[in-house]
Structure 1
């Protein structure tokens, strides 16, 4: 099994659209968040951001898994319609609430379902499902759930366990244990340091929480203001110094 990082920025990527901040003007480039799971001849895309067609050929995807209903995680589904790829019965795994939102709450995505470009396959958080030789376990995550619920996804190939959780509002015993029980985890690193109004746990908090963990931890979903997005920054070096890692576009992790 291989995990390929397609994008490591928050939903709109870096540079942030219309932003003139120092970091966005510096030439840093990171795509919106997604990973591609390779297992033998199967390719499974986890999340489908709007810029996905700049990164991969969607004809080569065997299935898609969606973590939640925020545009940076599902917006690329539009390109599966007849105006672009016009796929046929591509499996899209998602929660029951996400399926209901696509079928009944959003006419544009209903077209994809009605025309059979995609086939939504609902899962239940906490219950395993299989794609090819891999076992997937959707884990309920606390996040802003305006239209559907949010999940992290645990992937097990029978030898190793990988946990992907790009969005999180706060840590719970369940999500903490899921990270600690994994060989590799790629988790929410939206902000480096936090303030009370921010809904994502800052990297500093997460590093303190997992400082004694044996899990290899990567931070992803980096906001354009997050200095960790810049490999030349002091904050980036500090993450590495403390034994953690930063997800990079194009990075491949082998299991």
Structure 2
């Protein structure tokens, strides 16, 4: 059975509900192929700009750690290759942490970056690959058709293409990308506010195990697939949990639809205990108590679900 490992990769990881753990085999050794959680927050990160609420003031008072926008990494220790899922505004920090996890000899850039969509927390980190910063050379960027067109036809992203800082690799929904003989990534589309691009989710399949990544979706019932069945068919699922409940913001939340954690827990209520444990809530807005309220975190975990944490490792 797939083990969930927690690696104390971050200095601040232990600050959140004792979330830092070591592999359960009694060593500090990392598995040869694994998924690493580099960020868990919504696009704006935590703390959030111009927030004077208790949620963010806890950070400024030194009582909670910073959390970066949602980002995952896939590391193949056998080949020394690694791939990022999302290029967030915290790319510099996240790449440094990934580089160290993948081995200090890893230089340059990831072997590829998979993008989900054109909202600021998911692609703007590409700017650090440009000539104003790293001046990278042909970093593969995997993008669905509308996302590809957006990058190619809108500055400053188009300059990354013309200067060959990035090399866009076109992908198609439900068509697998083979990264190694036993590693493949399958993109699919989900309903979201697609102002500039479609929105992707990803299935990562390694040696017969599957990880599902859906950081953004409007509502589960709007999807043409059954999320419950998708969870059952996966070994782990990192799922959109932007908001904990309705009324969390002082605005009409129907304008920015996401599946509330309360809704998701109800929808997933008939899963077995083992199946619930596959669910990892991620992509938390700064108002979401999963970032700063230990009692609410405990409540969700007592119902059998998991809260994604930076530094968490999923072993394939």
Q: Which of 10, 19, 31 is residue 51 of structure 2 equivalent to?
A: 19
Instruction: Indicate conservation of the 8 Å contact 1:141/1:175, yes or no.
Output: no
Please list every run of 5 or more consecutive structure 2 residues that lacks an aligned counterpart in the other structure.
1-32, 100-107, 248-252
Q: CA deviation at 1:179?
A: 2.6
Structure 2 CA distance for aligned equivalents of residues 220 and 244 of structure 1: 11
| Structure with greater strand percent | 1
Structure 2 CA distance for aligned equivalents of residues 55 and 107 of structure 1: 24
Query: 2:304 aligns to what?
Result: 243
Please list every run of 5 or more consecutive structure 1 residues that lacks an aligned counterpart in the other structure.
none
Q: How does 1:1-255 map to 2 (within 5 A)?
A: 1-27=33-59, 28=64, 29-40=66-77, 41-57=80-96, 59-104=108-153, 106-132=154-180, 133-171=182-220, 172-174=223-225, 176=227, 177-194=229-246, 197=254, 198-213=256-271, 214=275, 216-230=278-292, 232=294, 234-255=295-316
How does the TM-score come out when normalised to structure 1? 0.95
Q: CA deviation at 1:67?
A: 0.4
Q: CA deviation at 1:173?
A: 4.6
131-140 vs 144-153, which deviates more? 131-140
3-state SS, counterpart of residue 93 of structure 1: strand
Larger Rg: 2
46-55 vs 205-214, which deviates more? 205-214
What is the root-mean-square deviation of aligned Cα atoms in Å?
1.5
Instruction: Indicate conservation of the 8 Å contact 1:43/1:60, yes or no.
Output: no
Q: CA deviation at 1:188?
A: 0.3
Q: Aligned pairs, how many?
A: 253
Residues 6 and 194 (structure 1 numbering): CA distance in 2 closer, same or farther, change over 3 Å?
same
How does the TM-score come out when normalised to structure 2? 0.77
